[in-house]
Every structure is written in C-alpha cells, then in structure tokens.
Amino acid sequence: MESSEEEDDLDYPINDGITPQSKIDSIYQSNTEKGIRKLCCELLVLKDAVENLRGNMRTKYLAFLRISDEVVEMEHELIELQKHISAQGILVQDLMSGVCRELEEWNKANGDIHEAQQDPQIGELQDPFPNNIVDAKTIFLEKIDVLLAEHKVEEAIDALDAEERNSPDLKSSGDTSPTEASSYRSAFLKRKAMLEDQLVEITEQPLVGTLELKKALSGLIKLGKGPLAHQLLLKSYGSRLQKTIEAFLPACSSCPKTYSATLSKLVFSLISLTTKESGSTFGDDPVYTNRIVQWAEWEIESFVRLVKENAPPSESISALRAAGICVQASLSHCSLLESQGLKLSKLLMVLLRPYIEEVLELNFRRARRVILDLDAIDESFPLSPRFASPLSAFSRSSDTILIDSGIRFMYNVNEIVEQLTPLTILHFGGSILSRISQLFAKYVGVLIKALPGPSEDDNLTELKEDIPFRAETDAQQLALLGIAFTVAELLPMAIWRTQNESKEPGSGPTENIVHTASAMESKEWRRHIQHSLDELRDHFCRQYVLNFIYSREGKTQLNAQIYLNGKGDDLIWDAGPLPSLPSLPSLPFQMLFVKLQQLATVAGDVLLGKEKIQKILLARLTETVVIWLSDEQEFWGVFEDESAPLQPIGLQQLILDMHFTVEIARFAGYPPRHVHQIAAAIIARAIRTFSARGIDPQSALPEDEWFVETAKGAIHKLMSDASDTDDEHLIDEHIIDEHMIMHDEMASDSDDSLSSLSSVESSESFASANMGDLESPTDLTDPES
C-alpha cells in the first residue's frame, strides 16, 4: 500500500502555485457577466430564428403570388371551357333537331315515292335541289351558333340581318312548305333571342366601357329592340351614377357647406351626358326624349332626397350655406340643360322649396333666440365696423346691454344674408325680407318693453315682464330710439348688397317680371320696417305726453276745468289788448313748449348727427298732445255738462292754446299741417259745444290774426326767458313764478314779435334738418305727415 501511494505522488505532483482556469472562472466570474453571456447567446438564437422566418415569409409570399396568377389563369380557362361546353351543347342540340327534321323529311319522302314514280318530271320540277337548300340553312345556323359561342356579336348581327333580308322562308313568301319554313324560322328566331341576351348581358356588366356599351346598344337597335336598348342605356348610366354617389357620400360630413354642389355636379353632368348619348344613338325620337325627361326627373327627386339626408342640422348656419349653394349650383346646371331640350328648373324648385323654407325658418328662429335672449352670457360678435360704429356711438347715454342687442341683431342678420347666393335671393328674396321684418318687429317689441308704459306706476312695475334693462331717463329713452332707428338704417346696407348681385343679365319679359316683383317685395319690406318703427315711436310719444299731462297733481293737469273760470292758477284773464281776452297760452301748454325745448337739447346730445330723427320725434310729440285732447271724452264731457259754467273767455283761451300748439310746430321747423288739421278740428268742436250752451262765437271771438300774433309773441317771450335762465331744471318754476309778469309785457311786445321770430336762427329750433330730405324707411318719416 505504501508503494502504491508513492507511485501516485510521482504520477500527480501537486504544485500550490498553479490554479486551474475553471477554478479561476468559477471564483472571479460575476453573476452579471454570466447573465450577459447568456443573453448574447439567446439573442444570437433569436436572430437566426428571425432570419429564417423572414426567408420563409418571402418564400410563402412569392408562392402566394404565383398561386394567385395561376388562379386567374384558371378562371380564364374555366370561362373558355364554359363557353366551349355551351357551344358544344348548342351544336348537339342543333344536331338533334336537324336529325329529327331529316327523319321527318325522310318519312315523308318515303310516303310520296309512289306519286313521284308516277310523274317523275313533276317531282323533279317541284324540288330540283332539295338537299342543297337544306344544307345551306343548316350551315348558316351552325355558323350563327359558332359566332354566338365565340361571342362575336357584331358578325352574328350582320349575318342575321343579311339572312333576314334575303331568305324567303323568313319573309313567309310561301315558296317552301309551311312546315319547313316554320321550323327554320323558329330556329332563326331562337338564335336571334340568344344574341339579344348576349347583348343585354354586355350592357349589364358593372365595368362596361362607353364604346362597348354603345356597340351593344347599336346591335339591339339593329335587332329591332330600340325601346329595350334605350331602357338599358338609362339603367346603365343610372347604375354608374349611383356608384359614384355612394363613393362620395362618406365625404359629405367633411365638407358640410359644399357637399351639395358636388352632388349637383355629379347628377346633372351625368344627366347631360345621358341626354347626349341618347341623342347620338337614338336620334330625336319624341318617345325616347320623353323617357329621358322622366328618367331625369326621377334622378332629380333622388338628388333632393340625398341633399336632405346628408345636410347638417337645419338650424345651423352650415345648413343655410349648403342650401344656398345647392340652389345656385342646381339652377345653373338646369340652365345649361335647357340647351339640350330639358327644362327641369320648375321641378327642381318645387322639390327644393320646402327644404329651403325650413332651413330659413329654423335659422331665423335661432337668430331670434340669440337676439332676444338678453340675459345670456356675453359673446363676442365680430361685426363689421361699418355696422358696429354707428351703434357704439350711443355708449355714452345708453346701457351696454341695449347696444349689445343692436350689435347682436345686425350680426345675426348679416350672418344669414352672407350665406345666401344670388339665385337663392332671386327665388326666395320675398320670404327672406318678410322674415327679416318679422325679426325686427320682435326686436322692437323688446325695446318697447324697456320703455315706461303709459299707465305704469310703482304698484304695476312688478307685474311687467322682467327685462335686463330699463330706459328711465330721457337720455336713455332717446338712445333706445336712436339704436332702433340706426338698426333700421343699417339693414339695407346688408340686404340690398346681395339683392343687387341677384340681378343677372337676361332678356325678354321674364327679366322685367322678376325685377318688378323684387321692387314690390322691397316696398312691402320697407313698409313693415316703418310700421315697427312707428309703433316704437308712438309708444314713446304716448307715454311721454301722458307722463307730462299727469305729472303734477292739481296744477299742470290738462283738463277742462282750467277753461271754465278765471280763478285757476293756469290762466291769466283780462290782460289782453282787448277787454276779457287772454294774453298768454294756458300754463300746461307753456310747460309743453319748455319740455319740448329741454327734450330737444337732450336729443341734440344723444342723437348727434341724426337731426331727422329728432325732428320726427318732436313733431310726433306735438301731434300726440292734440290727438289726446281731441279723443279725451272726459275733457269734452265737462263742457257738455249743463251744470258747468261756460264763459266766452274759456273758448278764447282754448282757441289760443290750439294756435300756440300750431306755432310750436312751425317754430320747431317741421311741417305743422297735421297738427293744424287736428287743432282746427278741436276749435270747431269747441265752438259747436260753446254755441250749444248759448255763447255766441261771433261776438266772443276776435279775428284769427290776433290768435296767431299772440301765440307767436308767447313763444318769443318764453324763448327770451329761457335764454335768461341758465339752469334748465329751474325753467318750470320760472314760468310759474313769472307768468303773472309776462302778461303785462305781452301787449307792448306784440308789435315786435313777428320781426323777432323771423330773425331766430336755426340753432334755436328743435332740429336743423330739412324735412324735404327725409325718406322712408331709412330716413323714417312719419307716414301721417
């Protein structure tokens, strides 16, 4: 054992200074390095797998392409095989029919042998070449079968046409036996029907070309199937149009405003193309022309239905624009079709009108909600400066909400009008103008609610409809009127611009009729706008006058009691140039003059540059006073009461007040004709009433010139006192305090009154505009004046 151990020591010496590499790797190699090495190995394996997969995919793709080509070739081979089988079937069928026919003829010939032997010369004369004739017919039918099998339709048509012209059997001339002729004719017609089916099949192919279609239709015409060919023409073009529209419809949502123009182009251009093809192929036959018209009408009905189904919501501005473009494009295409004999404009408008009217109505309803909803959150309305600047001029004396309402109105109207095309305005101009006038009437109704009512007081205020603004002061009320009148002046700037675009060049009486109708509609629209402004103006004047009449209890009320005796504070008696004649108008009418002067001063600041409006308002205020006095039954009931003590001086004072009112109108610079008429009616009624109570007007009344001069002198005196009083708020008190002194001075100043009045400058009058410059509606004259 010892010896063996020694041998082991010799064979395997141990050296402590040498370490095996495996041990070194196991000791010093980190886990991270091991992971990296392992990951690299896996990536290499994955790389090989990807390359193999890529190679397999390329191989399979090439195989797929090769198989696809083989499939296509196989399809062609199958089609050719099907044609060959069909041809062979036809040949077999014809062979069977030919054999049967030969057997029948053979049996018949055997039955007539005896007769032929008796008179062979006769038989020889009757059928000199029977076999040759039968063989020629059979060969012809076989030729047609081959042409049909090979789809050589043009050659088959020519052959059939030539045979039909030349064959006596097909003409039923009676040269052959009836049975033989009938059999050959049936075979001929059968092949003709097969050819017709092939031509119909060609026209019904989805991708048939125009030239190929035309050849097929010409073939049907040659076969005597003109109506069928025309029907197939319409069917083919209708199918082509349907596929084009179906491809376009998904894109309608991306172009909501212009999709209708594209649809119109697709429909009408194909109608035009179909009409041309029909004319070139079928000529001007009225039957085919009527069918074209019926087909075009049906396509237009389908077109209008598609426009409605794919339109944006009817109340949106996009729908209005799309509708306008649809009318413009469609009518333009219809006018081009008229040169081809198709008049489709009337039908198109009958079908489109309900939809266009619906879109217009819903858009104006939307505009009405935006305009009248004054409590809504403020929005930015990018209105053109030519519209916004005149309205913004009232910002100093008006509420911001009121100005915004005017800007809203103009913005919405302008936005609607801008969407309309010339032909839309031409055909729907009257409807559009009517809706604008209705919208303006609604807007004026809101403004009227912002004014104080004629009978409004503290107890009734809470009963009135709540609105976000209220015009309380004279400046605010005048600004409200100015905004309404300014909106009415701006409306034509937005409307007539587009209406002029609709006047396209034309000829004949049609153009004159259109222009005449447009002028009538414009005049009616102006009348409605003016009527709305009159309502606003009359409401302001009525409430202003009533507030003036009933403003002071017991002092300045305009009632009949001030004309019954001379003890009231409102009258000054026995101070005229003649005994018992009044020298001044009654105090309420003096106050009226001062109030109008104050209002004119405020109007000059608020309605700067709008002298025409100032003149109209002040004229109407003066008229309202005399109208109220004329219609107030309580006022006249006092005079008609038998117990009331009437005196001549009361009649004199009433007549002087009426002359004073007329002079107010004349002094203000506006025509006093209407005021003079009403004042004359009041004077005549007063004279009749006093005469009925026993007062003689001949002895009680001076000459008319005295009333005129006294009224003018009173105005001159009031103007002088007003100029001496700087504070306008003290003018009323000044008149009340000084009226006892004024009558003493009137007699001495009466000689100078006329010359003084003639020298009054225009700046002292209510307004400086010339009434001859007023026009309607933008100039807003009073229709009653």
SS (H, E, C) 497-548: HHHHHCCCCCCCHHHHHHHHHHHHHHHHHHHHHHHHHHHHHHHHHHHHHHHH
- Predicted pLDDT at 438: 93
CB 751 within 8 A of CB 745: no
Between 10-24, 203-217, 240-254, 595-609, the lowest mean confidence (pLDDT) is in 10-24
CB 646 within 8 A of CB 566: no
Closest CA to 188 of 168, 216, 217, 218: 168
Phi, psi (rounded to 5 degrees) for 438? -65, -40
- Extract the tokens encoding 234: 């319409």
User: pTM for the whole thing?
Assistant: 0.68
Give the contacts of 126 (CB within 8 A, at least 6 positions apart). none
Mean pLDDT of the chain: 76
- Extract the tokens encoding 402: 């009121």
DSSP 309-371: HTSPPTTSHHHHHHHHHHHHHHHHHHHHHGGGT---HHHHHHHHHHHHHHHHHHHHHHHHHHH
Q: To which H or E segment does residue 686 belong?
A: helix 673-692
pLDDT score of 115 more than 60: no
Residue type, 27: I
- Extract the tokens encoding 250: 């998904």
Q: To which H or E segment does residue 606 belong?
A: helix 587-606
- Predicted pLDDT at 185: 78
pLDDT score of 536 more than 50: yes
Is the torsion defined by CA of 187, 191, 194, 196 positive or negative?
negative
- Predicted pLDDT at 28: 58
Cα separation values, 382 from 377, 411, 488, 523, Å: 16, 8, 19, 30
- Extract the tokens encoding 28: 């010093």
- Predicted pLDDT at 18: 67
Place of tokens 């004054």: 374
pLDDT score of 393 more than 90: no
- Predicted pLDDT at 194: 85
Looking at residues 431-442, what average pLDDT do you find? 92
Instruction: Give the Cα separation of 183 and 189 in Å (integer).
Output: 10
Q: Which of 100-114, 119-133, 317-331, 557-571 has the highest mean pLDDT?
A: 317-331
In tens, the pLDDT along 315-346 reads 999 999 999 999 999 999 999 999 888 999 99
pLDDT score of 391 more than 60: yes
Place of tokens 């199918």: 239
Report the share of the chain in percent with pLDDT over 90: 20
Query: Model confidence at 396, in pLDDT bands (50, 70, 90)?
Result: low
Residue type, 184: Y
Give the contacts of 180 (CB within 8 A, at least 6 positions apart). 105, 169
Instruction: Give the Cα separation of 778 and 212 in Å (integer).
Output: 66
In tens, the pLDDT along 711-754 reads 899 888 888 876 655 544 444 544 444 443 333 443 333 333 32
More confident residue, 57 or 753: 57
Contacts 24+ apart (CB under 8 A), 613-616: 613/481, 613/482, 613/485, 613/780, 614/766, 614/767, 614/769, 615/668, 615/669, 615/670, 615/766, 615/767, 615/769, 615/771, 615/774, 616/537, 616/670, 616/774, 616/780, 616/781, 616/782
- For the chain, the C-alpha Rg in angstroms (whole number) is 53
Instruction: Give the Cα separation of 492 and 526 in Å (integer).
Output: 9
- Extract the tokens encoding 32: 């991270």
Helices (H) and strands (E) in the chain, counts: 29, 0
Q: Which of 75-79, 358-362, 542-546, 618-622 has the highest mean pLDDT?
A: 358-362
CB 722 within 8 A of CB 690: no
Looking at residues 406-415, what average pLDDT do you find? 88
Compute the C-alpha angle 210/215/220, nearest 5°: 125
Give how far the C-alpha of residue 678 lies from the chain's centroid of Cα atoms, to the nearest Å: 47
Give the contacts of 115 (CB within 8 A, at least 6 positions apart). 123
In tens, the pLDDT along 446-498 reads 899 888 875 444 444 444 456 667 888 888 888 899 889 989 988 888 776 54
- Predicted pLDDT at 779: 41
